[in-house]
């Protein structure tokens, strides 16, 4: 397969067939660097060498009734994590100030649980309003499954984007969680779009999915037309159902990110949770396909120091995006 020719076809509007996607995933290991180089042609076409910086705050930890098998905050997890109820408005605003100081363009307000209570929603709305008045940040909410009218309330308060990951394919979903359905997750993404917020949804790789499941989850994200796509790599945590799963190889992770760029050419693709554990010394190379990263820690796992991430970007010859609102994936349209 001529991966560079395939990349040029994608730039001309070609959508990869299922067989091309499977060929991509099943190619010889020696092809991985060529695939990544070809993915860079697409990435550079839409985003140049800009890297979007995101930073999150875990405003409520643990205490979740859902049984997601990968998650340390799950109702069935015995992981020794810190558990606390919703932070105050001032604590959330303080986190936003720290994100701005580090140069992040997007600040993500995350809370565990099936969906936000009235108190939790009110706290996030109050924090969002104050942040918008004082800091030039794009705000992303991640509060679980939204009830009717909650998306509109968040939009009015100043939340620009809402994250709700599909996590895996519809066919594999029942192997991951049973307390909610794949359609529950899709329903929240649709509510976000209807409210006028930018939809963010991504996946977790490394939970036992097949090649076909990987293609299916990327197809779902394409159909949902999500603007921002975090690609997480499973960080197996002691006390969770997936504690015994082995880390992925860095080269496999690179291939997954490259395929995501081919299948979702115009979208913000973010290397997210588990990148430090799974990509290891090859983290910088993922940015030849991805154009976005999280700075700092994740929900209950530690990330690379923000200063090291910034140095990594500099060493690549890439630059931090100066304005999170200046250019975003939702401005691009490709007709297939």
Tell me which residues are annotated as active site.
Answer: 64, 68, 71, 108, 140, 200, 270
Count of beta carbons in the 10 Å neighbourhood of residue 31: 16
26, burial (CB in 10 Å: exposed 0-12, middle 13-18, buried 19+): exposed
**Spatial contact of 124 and 87, defined as CB atoms under 8 Å apart:** no
**Angle between the 18-26 and 250-263 helix axes, to the nearest 10 degrees?**
160
The C-alpha atoms of residue 235 and residue 277 are separated, in whole angstroms, by 7
CA angle (10 as vertex; 6, 14 as ends), nearest 5: 105
**Spatial contact of 1 and 27, defined as CB atoms under 8 Å apart:** yes
Please list the alpha-helical segments (H only) found in 200-324.
211-224, 250-263, 275-279, 283-286, 306-316
Residue from 200, 204, 196, 256 nearest 224 by CA: 200
**Spatial contact of 154 and 165, defined as CB atoms under 8 Å apart:** no
Residue appearing with tokens 């308060």: 157
The C-alpha atoms of residue 244 and residue 237 are separated, in whole angstroms, by 8
The C-alpha atoms of residue 95 and residue 90 are separated, in whole angstroms, by 9
The C-alpha atoms of residue 208 and residue 171 are separated, in whole angstroms, by 12
């Amino acid at each position: 397969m001529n991966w560079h020719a395939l990349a040029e076809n994608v730039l001309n509007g070609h959508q990869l067939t299922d067989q091309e996607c499977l060929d991509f995933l099943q190619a010889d290991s020696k092809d991985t660097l060529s695939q990544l180089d070809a993915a860079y042609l697409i990435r550079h076409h839409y985003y140049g060498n800009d890297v979007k910086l995101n930073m999150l705050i875990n405003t409520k930890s643990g205490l979740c009734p859902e049984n997601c098998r990968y998650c340390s905050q799950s109702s069935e997890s015995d992981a020794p994590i810190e558990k606390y109820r919703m932070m105050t408005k001032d604590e959330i605003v303080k986190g936003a100030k720290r994100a701005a100081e580090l140069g992040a363009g997007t600040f993500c307000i995350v809370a565990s649980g099936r969906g936000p209570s009235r108190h939790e929603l009110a706290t996030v709305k109050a924090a969002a309003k104050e942040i918008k008045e004082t800091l030039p940040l794009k705000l992303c909410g991640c509060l679980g499954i939204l009830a009717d009218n909650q998306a509109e309330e968040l939009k009015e308060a100043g939340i620009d984007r809402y994250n709700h990951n599909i996590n895996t394919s519809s066919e594999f979903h029942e192997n991951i969680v049973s307390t909610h359905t794949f359609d529950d997750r899709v329903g929240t993404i649709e509510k976000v779009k209807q409210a006028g917020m930018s939809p963010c949804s991504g996946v977790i790789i490394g939970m036992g999915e097949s090649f076909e499941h990987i293609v299916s989850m990327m197809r779902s994200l394409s159909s949902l037309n999500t603007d921002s796509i975090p690609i997480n790599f499973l960080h197996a945590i002691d006390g969770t159902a997936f504690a015994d799963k082995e880390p992925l190889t860095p080269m496999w992770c690179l291939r997954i990110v490259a395929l995501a760029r081919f299948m979702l050419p115009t979208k913000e693709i973010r290397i997210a949770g588990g990148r430090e554990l799974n990509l290891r010394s090859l983290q910088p190379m993922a940015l030849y396909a991805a154009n976005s990263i999280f700075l700092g820690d994740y929900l209950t796992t530690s990330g690379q120091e923000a200063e090291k991430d910034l140095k990594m970007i500099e060493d690549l010859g890439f630059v931090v995006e100066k304005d999170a609102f200046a250019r975003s994936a939702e401005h691009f349209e490709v007709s297939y």
